[in-house]
Amino acid sequence: MAKCIICGDEITAVNKEHIIPFSLGNKNFTINAICRECNSLLGEKIDDETANSILAKVFRQQNGIPGHSGKIPNAFAEGVGENGEIIRLSKDFKPTIVTKVSVDDNKIHYQGSSKEEAIEIANKKLKRKKLPQLTEEQKNEIMTKEPEKYQPTISYNFSLNLNKINLEWIKIAYETLYYLFGEKIFAEKSIMELRQILYEYLYNDTYDEKIIQGKVGFIDKSLQQIIDNLNQNLDFLKKTLNDSVVHLIGVISENNELRIMIQVEGMLTGAVRVTVNDSSIYESATLMIGYPSGEIINQ
């Protein structure tokens, strides 16, 4: 029986692991060598944060990429107003304030755009505190606070956790190496260190930045030139496949080293570098993963 390439436990059921997150436009670039628990943890602790950042949501919205729920995200669905209020936008960009009601010292504090909802929530809170329900005068006061036209200034906070990006690159690189070369990678100490980094984060919430120094990072100038040359073919490939998105992974095998270049379109561009005992047994490869066709081209 096959064993999980993350934790080493026996795999009791087939679990399709998407090497690049499904929600970023990857249908078929998968492996079936990860147990259910590791699969779930990889999604929860690494992929989900990457695929649901505001940057990813903008990319997914622009390219019509749904998540596992089948829904395409609205990247600007929720922001913050000038006074700290939470504001939601509908699909046609109509703003509403998320109703917030608090009751303390017999005073009612209301913030929102639906007076009916505010009255209902306030009465529930008053009932729990065993206080009288709102009087008509109090209801009228709430009603007069709702503006007839609401055109707020909305701000959006965006940040990416660099450690999570590094972990995403490590995950993609490690799984890609298994996809291309199978179990021969288990004999390579440097590749097994990638496995250990993933395991320790998934099960022990530990992440040692010293271990990844020199292994993981952004594309350097030499690799960027290779990426740029490959990107020249992507527009032609998109037209040929009728795809809006093509992800790119390149593996360079030379000088007893494997360099894995990762370009998740619209989101991530980075590289992972590992030493190997004999690079001659690993062929260099270029993988192009299309969406929505699901085509995988291996050059």
Q: What is the pLDDT of residue 145?
A: 45
For the chain, helix (H) and strand (E) counts, in that order, are 10, 13
Positions of the chain with pLDDT lower than 70, given as ranges: 1, 83-84, 91-93, 96-114, 141-151, 156-160
What does the DSSP 8-state code read for residue 86?
A: E
0.75 surpassed by pTM: yes
Residues in Cβ contact with 288 at an 8 Å cutoff, skipping those fewer than 6 apart: 234, 237, 246, 247, 248, 295, 296, 297, 299
**Which pLDDT does position 144 carry in this prediction?**
44
* pLDDT value of residue 118: 72
Q: pLDDT, tens digit, for every residue of 263-283?
A: 998 777 889 999 999 999 999
Cα separation of 20 and 29, whole Å?
7
pLDDT digits 0-9 by tens, 10-29: 998 888 999 999 999 999 99
Please tell me the predicted confidence (pLDDT) of residue 29.
97
Beta carbons within 8 Å of 41's beta carbon, 6+ residues apart: 202, 203
Token readout for 278 is: 């004999």
Residue ranges with strand state E in 38-130: 78-80, 86-89, 95-97, 100-104, 107-111
Q: Strand, coil or helix: what is 166? A: helix
Q: How far apart are the first and last CA of the chain?
A: 31
